Structure 1
């Protein structure tokens, strides 16, 4: 029986694939957007100081500028950013400096420490707007996932959803956490809700297809991946998944076509390598007269 590399279909690797994407922090806005969001909030009581001659708008702009600079550094040179944020905190940077420390720890791979610090910031940086709190909690959830603690990740995402219940991204994120615990029906429930809120987005259909595949429902998986590709025709992950599904449902020519498309559209990636390996396995199986694996 031939086995196909399926980073989008073998449980719970469907959702783990996204964890390895460089430069993607799922469920979270960019560093600049985060800095602007939380820096515009009122300073915490511990940070408020009399400044009779300072213009509040200018102070907010400067806080946002410093935060954006630090958060961008955290992505590129996290160790240096962490040290810089410690110095900034000593000089009165307060919660914004602590936020930068948390993000620097994340980009260093210290996910548990990052998640804990992000959650600790919610009562202060997230107290004034639901968006601020849910953004911090979404980051904490992703850090918990990277730390391998899907239970804490789900709790963080649930808290984020409680504050921003109409955000489909948060539902997709919680689906990741639930799938990591192999709770595929719970993941599908979240993805159903995300699709109801954003029916023209390909991603929830793609992930729901992977969940159905993990449950052994290839017909539903094919249906969903077809919708994903109708919405986003060149999506390499969707093409890879459809190729895998076609290979095990009696459509080898369709599988080969999809895998070759992945290799052409998205070369030098995990998806392209999986597609290349699967193509070689299928061709080898055909040469030996073996049936494809389910």
Structure 2
């Protein structure tokens, strides 16, 4: 049968606003930076707090207006903003869609901004990893996530991020290993169950995929993404009527979401296939009558 629409998405906790990749949510961006870079506010000179505020303002602007944030960051750098201004430039580049330049810029700041703070270093490495993944360099992204995990071993979000990168490289068993580790640390992560279900789906482990989806729905009832995926897995397993029930449910639950629209597409496409098959059957019967 035709491939069912519906992809897993992940909005990286290090860089928000990331659209869907093929396989696979997030602190407000300014707050994420304040937490991830605690050394900024206490960075020696009295201007440290001002730099933190400037960074947060620039980060908040980067997503909505990357060109404006880049202009602000350049002015800030001319005024002595240093590495913090460069960090904002990197984020502006990311949100402008220049992922390679963003990854290069952010990665280059790890030795300075992350020098004395493993959490800050891991945060920067995670941001750079996401940029390189968006640039299509899965291998470099995975290396950066691994480096980040060396700084903060067992970090649940980083494990999930690396699983995402590994799945993009079709290394589904390695992705599952990371997701197993993430769920061992936090068994209430509905998203991790859903990502593991998607990996199992790719490996044709349909029974395990459905078990993971059921667990995700226990933790997050009515999630249209999970319902859509369940329908897709059922369709791949040959149970099209049950799949159509799930797609209809996803469409009812969230008709205007990307998952509701994908479910509607699946329903329409399978209806067309069924109608075409019906016409072929009629033609065959007509031939026999003749």
Given the two structures, how large is their TM-score scaled by the length of structure 1?
0.84
Paired residue for 2:164, among 161, 164, 176? 176
Q: Using the TM superposition, give the Cα deviation of residue 92 of structure 1 relative to its aligned residue in structure 2, in angstroms.
A: 0.8
CA contact (8 A) 1:134 1:161 kept: yes
Q: CA deviation at 1:173?
A: 0.4
Structure 1 stretches lacking a partner, 5+ long: 9-13
Q: Summarize deviations over 1:51-88 as a string: whole Å, max 9, x none.
A: 6xxxx4xx332221111111111111101111110110
1:88 aligns with 2:82: no
Tell me the secondary structure at the aligned position of residue 189 of structure 1. helix
How far is the alpha carbon of 1:187 from its aligned partner?
0.6
Q: Does 1:261 align with 2:254?
A: no
1:171 Cα shift?
A: 0.6
Counterpart residue number, 2:199: 211
CA contact (8 A) 2:17 2:63 kept: no
The answer to whether structure 1 residue 142 and structure 2 residue 130 are counterparts is yes
In the TM superposition, residue 286 of structure 1 has moved relative to its aligned partner by 4.1
Return 5+ residue gaps in structure 2 as ranges.
Answer: 20-24, 281-290
> Once structures 1 and 2 are overlaid, which stretch shifts more, 168-177 or 252-261?
252-261
Question: Aligned partners of 2:61 and 2:206: how far apart in 1?
Answer: 44
TM-score by length of structure 2 reads: 0.85
Q: Against the structure 1 CA distance between its residues 139 and 23, is the aligned structure 2 distance closer, same or farther, given a 3 Å change threshold?
A: closer
Instruction: Give the stretch that moved more between structures: 35-44 or 263-272.
Output: 35-44
Q: Give the total of aligned pairs.
A: 271
Alpha carbons of structure 1 residues 129 and 39: separation in structure 2 relative to 1, 3 Å: closer
Q: Tell me what 1:6 maps to.
A: 5
Q: Tell whether 2:17 aligns with 1:24.
A: yes
Written as runs of structure 1 = structure 2, the 5 A alignment for 1:190-269 is 190-269=178-257
User: What is the CA–CA distance in structure 2 between the aligned matches of 1:282 and 1:75, rounded to whole Å?
Assistant: 38
Q: Give the 3-state SS of the residue equivalent to 1:128 in structure 2.
A: coil
If asked which structure has higher relative contact order (CA below 8 Å, sep 6+), I would say 1
Partner of 2:283: none
Q: What aligned pairs does 1:97-136 form with structure 2 within 5 A after superposition?
A: 97-136=85-124
